[in-house]
Amino acid sequence: MEGKLIIFSAPSGSGKSTIINYLMQQNLNLAFSISATSRPPRGNEQHGVEYFFLSPEEFRQRIANDEFLEYEEVYKDRFYGTLKEQVEKQLSAGQNVVFDVDVHGGCRIKEFYGSRALSMFIQPPSIEELRKRLEGRGTDSPEVIKDRLDRAEYELSFAPKFDTVVINDNLEEAQAEALSQLRTFLQL
């Protein structure tokens, strides 16, 4: 049986990664989509495991060939994207493919796959709470936090375009809600 697609998007600091990691441990046959990038491998990263590592020229050629579901040039010659062929391989293998993407990528994947995909937006309870979480991390300068909050306000405007919105005011409740939505979608 072919797998389905689960798309997650959220502003930085919303708890998306924590919720995804929780769901990955729930025996739902979930597998991360393996993205492509034009950046060089870091540490022990391997081609085809963490990412497909392509040169900027290879990436541009694949864009021209319409091989990507979605892609972004984050910095000059630094691309990230999702290859259609890889997703189809994972779906054919029966995996339920998980995407952790920005709002634009999430909308593009949903548009491409329609009802075969569930798009889930993880939302913080408020911008003020998001500010507290980002400051509490202690990893970013005030300028970076301001940039993230400005971006978050923009990203929040995309929430209505997603199939479901999970407000992460209480992590355990948000995890339970996401799990319930996912089980319903996967018919488990």
Count structural domains, the chain.
1
- Here the CATH number for the domain that contains residue 88 is 3.40.50.300
Answer yes or no: are the C-beta atoms of 98 and 31 closer than 8 Å: yes
61 within some domain: yes
188 within some domain: no
Domain holding 43, by residue range, is: 5-183
Q: Which two tokens stand for residue 151?
A: 């971006």
167 within some domain: yes
Answer yes or no: are the C-beta atoms of 183 and 28 closer than 8 Å: yes
140: DSSP letter: S
Query: Model's pTM, two decimal places?
Result: 0.90
* Residue-level pLDDT, tens digit, the chain, 188 residues: 899 999 999 998 899 999 999 999 999 999 999 999 999 999 999 999 889 999 999 999 999 999 999 999 988 999 999 999 999 999 999 999 999 999 999 999 999 999 999 999 999 999 999 999 889 988 889 998 999 899 999 999 999 999 999 999 999 999 999 999 999 999 98
